[in-house]
Structures are given as C-alpha cells and as structure tokens.
Structure 1
Amino acid sequence: MDKKLQDLADKIIEYAGQSGVQYCDARAEQQVKKSTLIENNEIEHVRNSEDKGIGVRLIKNGAWSFCSISNPKSFDEIKNILDNTIRNSDYTNSNKKNKINLHNNPINKKQIDFPVLKKPEIEELTSIGLECNKIIMDSPLIIKSVTNPYYVTSSKYFVNSEGSEILQKFTDVIVEMIATAHESGLTQSVNITEGGRGGLELIQNKVQQSAKEIANKASELIKAKPVKEEKTTLVMNPDFVSLLTHEILGHPSEADRVLGKEMAWAGGAWWKGKIGEKIGSENLNVFDDPTIKESLGWYYFDDEGVETKRTNLVEKGILKNHMQNRETSEIFNTTPTGNMRATNYRYMPLIRMACTCIGNGNQNVSEIIKDVKNGYYISNMKVPSIDMKRYNWSISCQYAQKIENGELTDLQRDVIVMGTAPEFFNSIDACGNDFTVRPITNCGKGDPMQSMIMGNGGPTIRGTATVKSVN
C-alpha cells in the first residue's frame, strides 16, 4: 500500500470530524492487474493496469453521502471534493425523516497479509495459459479455444471516525477457459473458471486437467441428444449447485433486498418476513462464510470494518438469518455479518455474498444416483434467469446425463432447469458428502452496477424440477 495514500485517508477522517459529521469512513485502495488473452494458440493481448484511490462515506443530518477520488496528489485536492460532499449533505438531507442508526462495532487495528506460496508472474501465467489453450485445440472437433489467465494484487486500507485502522493485502489468481466444438452445423461450448485467493499454487498442475475435460465434453456434446421436457428427479453436481445457491439462496439473503431497497433495479426476496419459518426440507442447510481460505470470497474484515464470521442462513430447512450490514442489522435487531463490500473505492459498499454454500450431507454421490429410477444428472453452471423476488428460477447447465435405473446413460445438450424456490427447496432429499467451492468472477448488483468476485459452493444434491431444451 502506498503510504501516502494511507496517510491521506487518515487526514480525511480527521478533517471530517472537524466538519461536524456524525460518522465517516475512508477506503484507500491500490490494485495491480496483469492478464493475457489467448485464442487458438495465439496471444491476442497482454494487459497491465494499475488503479488507486480513496472512497469516503459519511453521515450528516441523518443520511449517507459518498465521494471518491482517483490517484489523489494532495490533501487540498481531496478537501475540495470533501467540502462539496458535506455541503450537499446539508442541502439534500434536511427533510429526511428516517435517521440512520449503526450497530456498535469494536475498534479494530489490524494488518493482514494473505498467504501467497508462489508469487504469480505474467510470464509463467501466460505459459500456463498457452499450454491449456493447446490442450483444448488438440481435441477433436474444436474450432475455438480461449484462455484468459490473470492475477490481481490488492491492498485495502480501511479507517473510520470510531478508531478502526485495518490493512488487508491479497492476491487473486484466475484462469478462464472456453472450448467450442463444431460439426454439421451444430456448435457446442463448455467453459470453466479456476483459481482463488492466493498464488500460482492454486492453479499449477490443476488447470491443465480442466482444459482437457472441457475440450472433451464440448466435442462429445456434438453427438449428444437434446433433452425432452419433463418434471423429474434431478441430481445436480457441485458446480451447478454453486450457481443455483448464488441465485436463489444467496441474493435473496441480502438484507437490502429483503427490505425492498433494490426492487427498482435488482430485485427483492420472496421470503421477506419469514425468519423462523420452514422454507425447505430438513436436508437444506445454507451458510455464508468469508473465512473459507483460498476462496475468492475470503477476507477478514468487510468494507465497514466488521470482522467476518460464518453466518448460518438456513438450518434444516428453517430460514434463520439474512446477510446484514451495520445499518440493516439495527432494523432487524441482530448483528452485522461482515458482508458489506464494494467493487473498489469508486463505489459505496453494498451487502454482498462472500462464499454462500449449501452444506454437505453424508451420502456418497454414487448412492444418490443409484436410488434414481428415472431422472437426470445436471452438470456445471451456465446462464441464470431469475424473477425479481428470486421465486421463479431458470438456470441452464452445460450438459446433463440421463439416469435410468440408477445408472448414467445418454449425454444431453442444451438443457435448462426450471422451478420455483419453495417447491424445489422442499424437494431436496439428499446431499452428498462431497463439497466444492467454485469461483464466481462477475456477480452484478446495484445502481450504478458493481461487479464483484466471490465464492459459491456446495455438494451434490438431489431434488425435483423441470428440464427442457433451450431450442
């Protein structure tokens, strides 16, 4: 972290306190990203970018105000922006009826360096990307191979008027890959994202196997059959479960959605007011956990300076909690959960998932499949389509297999899975003893839109929903 940037954040807090604000926090952030795009064994581009700046939130006259500045050179430059923000608070908030109350939060003074066992370098990362690209291209029927390896190093310094001073430094290493096959007028693509919070150790000797798997599967899908529409028993693999968890369990658990504060653009939650009620079978346990190491949702303090912890959202089918910030937790008469995050210093933090998962069970995956007389094995996330309250949902998978008398048979392509949240949750009758966390790199929320990285995961699960063909 640039020490000058950190000092400027400290001065902002001191100046805001002298200006009569009730509360102020500042996030000084510095980020370096290096990436390579490779297509069909050729490097399309190598990009380096660096960004740093400070975002400031403050409360005056009972309402939030926010400003940000990129690459500030002096405090005088910041002071002008800060004065305007405070002045605007005087004008716009004078008629506000509902005042803001923040849950008490301990003063934290910490510096945390996340472990990196093997420091990423763009040359080695590019070499891995080229190797994976060639693996994909060497598979039958492949006409296009895309690999995008990149890493991001970040430093985040949080300071507030209550006395907290928190510095977190971390590195994310990610490889995104797409394999596209084509024959006889039919095109099929399979993609995967690998990586997490840490160094090259997270992908070395792992992504090559993933490249081979998606290439083979894209080729096999050319010969696969389209699925017939039916409501039936489905066994879902952990990769598909991670997106399902994200869309119909994670998002409606964000307290700002529950309160209806996002209804204008991103939606709400169908289970508003249902804390303590049964919303699924006793096999359904859901939690959000920012402490899962190596996940893209791993952090120790959120963007309000709240220390993170595991939050149980659903226990044996009973809705127990939502994800809360310091403001919403006062409304719900509970405690903050450490889920307040912003894409970067340019944005106000929002309540966001960290690593939301369905808890695993005690059954072997083979046993879960063996008990199915007729159904489908659903594999790997693709595209979601969910209604405003996360009640009706539709998520396509990358491929599926028919299950007949407990055995996997024909490969199926172009499959969409559909259902309603309460009916599907109540149908879950098995959770595997496996458990996988998958990286999510492009979750959007807010206005202006913020894209966020996080983890989502779970085990193999079995339930009932409708499958139909994309076409």
Structure 2
Amino acid sequence: MNTVLQELSDKGIKYAIEAGAQYCDIRAEQQEKKSVHIENNEIENIRAFSDSGLGIRLIKEGAWSFCSITDPKSFDEIKEKINHAIKNSSHPTKNKKKVDQYPSPTNNLKIDFPVLKKPSIDELVTIGLECSRIILDTPRIIKSIISPWYTVNSKYFVNSEGSKIEQNFTDVVTDMIAVAYESGITQSTNITEGGRGGLEQITNKDKIQQKAKDISQKASELILAKPLKEEQTTVVMNPDFVSLLTHEILGHPSEADRVLGKEMAWAGGAWWKGKIGEKIGSENLNVFDDPTIKESLGWYYFDDEGIETKKTTLVENGILINHMQNRETAQIFNATPTGNMRATNYRFMPLIRMACTCIGNGDRNTDEIIKEVKNGYLISNMKIPSIDMKRYNWSISCQYAQKIENGETTDLLRDVIVMGTAPEFFESIDACGNDFTVRPITNCGKGDPMQSMIMGNGGPTIRGTAMVKSVN
C-alpha cells in the first residue's frame, strides 16, 4: 500500500472527528488489473488498468454520509470532501432514525495473501492462445473466446475506533466460451476458473487446458442432443449448477438489508423475512457463508467495516438460523456482525454481500445418488438465472442435462431450464453428496448505484424435485 494514501487516511480520520463526526472510517485502495481477450486464436486486445483512491464513511447527528476521492494529491482535497459529507449528514430529515452500530474490537495488522506463482500478461497470453487452439481443434466448434485476467490489490482500512488493517491479495481468473454450430443449431458452453492467489489458481489441480477441452467437447456433443418435455420430476444437480442456485435463492435472501426491505425498490427482498428459527427446508439442507475458505474469490480476513471474518451458519438441518449481518443490522436482529460488508472499491459504500455462500456437503457418493433414481435428470453447470423479487419463484437454465433411467444416465439433453419455488424445492432435498466444490462468481450485482462483486459459491451434488423443460 502506498504510504502516502495510508498517511492521508490516518489524517482524514482525525480531521473528521475534530470536525464533529461521531464516527468515521476510511478505505484506501489500490488496484492494478491486466487482461487479454482472445477470439479464435486472435488477440483482440490487451488491457492494463490501475486505480487508487479513498472511500470515506462517517456518521454525523446519527446519519451516514459517504464520499470518495480518486488519486488524492493533497490533504486539502480530503478536508473539503469531509466537510461536504458532514454538512450532508446534518440536514434535518423527518423521522430520521439514528444509526446504532454493534461494538467492534480494535485490530491493527497487515496481511499478505500467498501468491505461489506471480502472474504476468505474457503468461496469460500463452495460456489463452493454447486454450483457444484446443477449443477450435474440436469438430463443429466455430468460435472460441478466452478472457484471462489478474488483479493485484491493496486495501487499507482505518477507523475512528482505532483499527488499522491492511490486506494485500492477487486474483487470477480465466473465462472461456466454446460455440458449436451445425445444421442450423448453435450450442455454447462456458466455464470460469480461478481464485485468490497467483497463476497457480488456473494451472494447478485441474489445469485450464483440460477445462478448455471439456467445454469444447460438450458444446460439440450438444449439437446432436435432444430437447425434453416439461415435467415435474427428480433432479440431481452437479456442484457447478448448485453454486448458482445457492447464490440466487439462498445467498441473496440471507443478506440482512434485503430481509429488512432496504433493497426492495431495485434488487428485491427475502421470502423468509421473520422466519428465523422456523423450518424452511428438509433436514438435509445446511447452508453457510464462509470468507475464510482459502483461495476462494470470497476469501478475506476483515470486511470493509473492519470486522474479522468467520464461518456463519445460515440454515442448519432445514432451520433458518441467521442472516448475514453488518454492524447496524446486527443491532436490529440482536445478532453479531458476520464480516460481510463489502464494496466493489473505494468509490462505493459497502453493502452486505456474500463472501462464499454454500450448501454444506453430505456423506453420499454421487454415483449412489444417481443409482437410486428410477426416472429423472442430471442437471449440469450453471447458465442463466431468473428469480423473482423475494427469491421465492426461481428458474435457472443449465448448460446441459442427461436423462436418468433406472439409475443410469442416458440421453444428452440441451436447452434445459429448471424451475421451482424456494420452500417446495428446499423441502424436497433428500440427498447431498460428498463432492463439495467451491466455484468462482465474478459478476454479482447489487445496490444502487450498481456494484459488481466477485465471490465464491458452492456445494455438493444434491437431489430434489423440480420442474424441467426445454426452451425450444
């Protein structure tokens, strides 16, 4: 972290309190991003972007105010911004409810996240071109799109309660798309791989080149796949599909600001408002959010309020236990902050956001879960969600499905959508696999103005009941 930004942040806190603020915190952030975009073995662009600045929150006369400064050059700029923020908080508002924050301990530390292989744009180009060639070598493939990128981030948080926390981390991610075409039919498959760390996030374990081969083969096979008829049936969902389902119908409604209706006008609420302590699913359903899962894109040690992170149980054996809380909502729910306050960057106020929300794994072997199904479908890999305002009715398309007949997977199926209502589907879950997996999510939107956030979501193979149909 630039020491000048740290010093300006420290001075800004002192000035805000002297100017009459009851509380103030400042996030100094720096980011460098490099990316390459490759289509059909051709480099379309290589981009480099850097950004730095301060995000300043304060409470004056019981009300929040926020301002941000990009690349500040002098302390006078910061003083001017703080003065405006204090003035804005002081405007009289009818029936104004004063902010009440949960007490927070003071923390002073610096954390450097591990990077085993430092990324470079040259290495991303090499990997991207190799993946593009692999995809295009597959029959029926007409297009490959490869978009590798990495960011190097430094975040310094300081508040008027005495906390000073620095976190330095790197993210490496690759997005890949394979498009197949034949006889008037177009099919595409895609995958995102990566995590918090260095180049090892896409080169270790299941190498990115194998993922490129997998999606190209599947896109090609889908040209010959069949659609299916609409029916209410047993569905077995693989971990990649489960991660999006978890994100949309378990993660978002668990954010306490949505539960309180503070996002209803633009992002929706939560159907289980007021149901803490009640049964909302089968005893096989366990849900948690965990920012401490290492190498996930949702891995961090302190949130943007300076709260230390921990694993938070949201649903336990089908019972709704808790929501994700910030210091303010924790007071309302008589709970404790969960470490989920995050902003896209210093330009925005932090919001309650998922870190790594997952369905907990079970003890069942995936093959056994499938073998017990007489008639149903294996649903694989996330595609496009459509969820109502309260996360009650949901519809999520998958990249492909397979028919299950007498415990065996048979026909490959395309253009499949899975639909249900949250309580009915949760209650129907009768098996969870032992194949727990965390997947990267890079484009979650929330807030007004909209903030895009990266995070992890995950879970095991699960089995339940839902409606399925093909869009064609």
Cα distance in 2 for residues equivalent to 1:95 and 1:370: 63
Tell me what 1:157 maps to. 156
Q: Secondary structure at the match of 1:46?
A: strand
Task: Kindly provide the amino acid, as one letter, of the partner of residue 309 in structure 1.
Answer: K
Cα distance in 1 for residues equivalent to 2:295 and 2:279: 33
Q: Secondary structure at the match of 1:226?
A: coil
Q: Which string of whole-angstrom CA distances, capped at 9 and with x for unpartnered residues, describes residues 38-59 of structure 1? A: 0000100000000000000000
Cα distance in 1 for residues equivalent to 2:95 and 2:161: 24
Equivalent pair of 1:63/1:96 in contact (CA under 8 Å): no
Task: Kindly provide the amino acid, as one letter, of the partner of residue 36 in structure 1.
Answer: V
Cα distance in 1 for residues equivalent to 2:154 and 2:96: 38
Tell me what 2:212 maps to. 211
Tell me what 1:437 maps to. 438
Tell me what 1:255 maps to. 256
Structure 1 residue 79, shift from structure 2 partner: 1.3
Structure 1 residue 67, shift from structure 2 partner: 0.2
Cα distance in 1 for residues equivalent to 2:254 and 2:245: 13
Tell me what 2:76 maps to. 76
Tell me what 1:64 maps to. 64
Task: Kindly provide the amino acid, as one letter, of the partner of residue 35 in structure 1.
Answer: S
Q: Which string of whole-angstrom CA distances, capped at 9 and with x for unpartnered residues, describes residues 57-105 of structure 1? A: 00011111000010000001111121111112112x4544311100001
Structure 2: 5+ residue runs without aligned partners? none
Counting only pairs closer than 5 Å after superposition, residues 104-143 of structure 1 correspond to structure 2 as: 104-143=103-142
Q: Which string of whole-angstrom CA distances, capped at 9 and with x for unpartnered residues, describes residues 150-208 of structure 1? A: 10000000000000000000000000000000001110000000000000111115110
Cα distance in 2 for residues equivalent to 1:284 and 1:81: 48
Tell me what 1:356 maps to. 357
Counting only pairs closer than 5 Å after superposition, residues 384-423 of structure 1 correspond to structure 2 as: 384-423=385-424
The range that moved more, 212-221 or 120-129, is 120-129
Q: Secondary structure at the match of 2:454?
A: strand
Tell me what 2:378 maps to. 377
Cα distance in 1 for residues equivalent to 2:424 and 2:285: 12
Tell me what 2:17 maps to. 17
Q: Secondary structure at the match of 2:28?
A: strand
Q: Secondary structure at the match of 1:327?
A: helix
Task: Kindly provide the amino acid, as one letter, of the partner of residue 372 in structure 1.
Answer: V
Cα distance in 1 for residues equivalent to 2:282 and 2:324: 21
Tell me what 1:36 maps to. 36
Task: Kindly provide the amino acid, as one letter, of the partner of residue 456 in structure 1.
Answer: N
Q: Secondary structure at the match of 1:118?
A: coil
Change (3 A) 1:62 1:96: farther
Structure 1 residue 470, shift from structure 2 partner: 1.4
Structure 1: 5+ residue runs without aligned partners? none
Q: Which string of whole-angstrom CA distances, capped at 9 and with x for unpartnered residues, describes residues 382-428 of structure 1? A: 00000000000000000000000000000000000000000000000
Tell me what 1:196 maps to. 195
The range that moved more, 75-84 or 165-174, is 75-84
Change (3 A) 1:189 1:38: same
Identity of aligned residues (%): 77
Cα distance in 2 for residues equivalent to 1:97 and 1:192: 47
Q: Secondary structure at the match of 2:90?
A: helix
Equivalent pair of 1:62/1:96 in contact (CA under 8 Å): no
Q: Secondary structure at the match of 2:293?
A: coil
Task: Kindly provide the amino acid, as one letter, of the partner of residue 334 in structure 1.
Answer: A
Structure 1 residue 33, shift from structure 2 partner: 0.1
What TM-score do the two structures reach when normalised by structure 1? Answer: 0.99
Q: Secondary structure at the match of 1:203?
A: helix
Cα distance in 1 for residues equivalent to 2:107 and 2:93: 32
Q: Which string of whole-angstrom CA distances, capped at 9 and with x for unpartnered residues, describes residues 117-166 of structure 1? A: 01001101110111111100110100000000010000000000000000
Change (3 A) 1:81 1:96: farther
Cα distance in 1 for residues equivalent to 2:452 and 2:459: 22
Tell me what 1:266 maps to. 267
Tell me what 1:426 maps to. 427
Counting only pairs closer than 5 Å after superposition, residues 160-309 of structure 1 correspond to structure 2 as: 160-204=159-203, 206-309=207-310
Cα distance in 2 for residues equivalent to 1:27 and 1:401: 48
Task: Kindly provide the amino acid, as one letter, of the partner of residue 176 in structure 1.
Answer: D
Cα distance in 1 for residues equivalent to 2:308 and 2:164: 12
Q: Secondary structure at the match of 1:162?
A: coil
Equivalent pair of 1:120/1:151 in contact (CA under 8 Å): yes
Q: Secondary structure at the match of 2:346?
A: coil
Task: Kindly provide the amino acid, as one letter, of the partner of residue 28 in structure 2.
Answer: A
The range that moved more, 205-214 or 354-363, is 205-214
Is residue 65 of structure 2 the alignment partner of residue 89 of structure 1?
A: no
Q: Secondary structure at the match of 2:21?
A: coil
Q: Secondary structure at the match of 1:14?
A: helix
Equivalent pair of 1:241/1:461 in contact (CA under 8 Å): yes
How many residues end up aligned between the 2 structures?
A: 470
What TM-score do the two structures reach when normalised by structure 2? Answer: 0.99
Q: Secondary structure at the match of 1:344?
A: coil
Cα distance in 2 for residues equivalent to 1:128 and 1:395: 31
Equivalent pair of 1:221/1:413 in contact (CA under 8 Å): yes
Cα distance in 1 for residues equivalent to 2:94 and 2:250: 37
Tell me what 2:51 maps to. 51
